[in-house]
């Protein structure tokens, strides 16, 4: 069945470091791909999305490119801030269900 696999955390970085959180998916068809973020004490927020191959989603300095050939949607940011500390979820939606990865917790140290 369809699934999402993302790198296990926690990931700990210093401020201004480069961030990559890997995400791969298995799917029948061509799902839309998403990154959601959950900041401490808050709910899930849509961070970015891509709806077809080679699309790049971007928001708040984060980027992810829909790679059909590698079935990946890796999240990147060039320079993280302490305020980026959160749990990041990769997800796919090919119909009405959204299928999530297990989440990756990011800690950014000042």
Partner 1 sequence: EAGVTQFPSHSVIEKGQTVTLRCDPISGHDNLYWYRRVMGKEIKFLLHFVKESKQDESGMPNNRFLAERTGGTYSTLKVQPAELEDSGVYFCASSHLPGTGTTDTQYFGPGTRLTVL
Whether 53 contacts 70, CB under 8 Å = no
Task: Say which residues have a Cβ less than 8 Å from residue 87's Cβ, sequence separation at least 6.
Answer: 9, 37, 38, 103, 104, 105, 106
Q: Least distance from C-beta 44 to partner 1, angstroms?
A: 4
Tell me how far, at minimum, the Cβ of 68 lies from partner 1, in Å.
Answer: 18
Within a 13 Å sphere around the CA of 82, how many CA atoms are in the beta-carbon half? 2
Nearer to partner 1 by C-beta: 5 or 17? 5
* Displacement of CA 18 from its chain's centroid (Å): 15
In whole angstroms, how close is the CB of 59 to partner 1 at the nearest point?
13
Q: Which is nearer to partner 1, 67 or 105 (CB)?
A: 105
Residues that bind partner 1 (CB under 8 A): 4, 32, 34, 36, 42-46, 49, 51, 89, 91, 93, 95-103
Q: Is the Cβ of residue 17 or residue 98 nearer to partner 1 in the bound state?
A: 98
């Amino acid at each position: 069945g369809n699934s999402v696999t993302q790198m296990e955390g926690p990931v700990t970085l210093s401020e201004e470091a480069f961030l990559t959180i890997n995400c791969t998916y298995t799917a029948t068809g061509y799902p839309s791909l998403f990154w959601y973020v959950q900041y401490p004490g808050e709910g899930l927020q849509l961070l970015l999305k891509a709806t077809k191959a080679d699309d790049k989603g971007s928001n708040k300095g984060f980027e992810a490119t829909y790679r059909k050939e590698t079935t990946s949607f890796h999240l990147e940011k060039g320079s993280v801030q302490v305020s980026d500390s959160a749990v990041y979820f990769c997800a796919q939606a090919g119909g009405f269900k959204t299928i999530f990865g297990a989440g990756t917790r990011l800690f950014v140290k000042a």
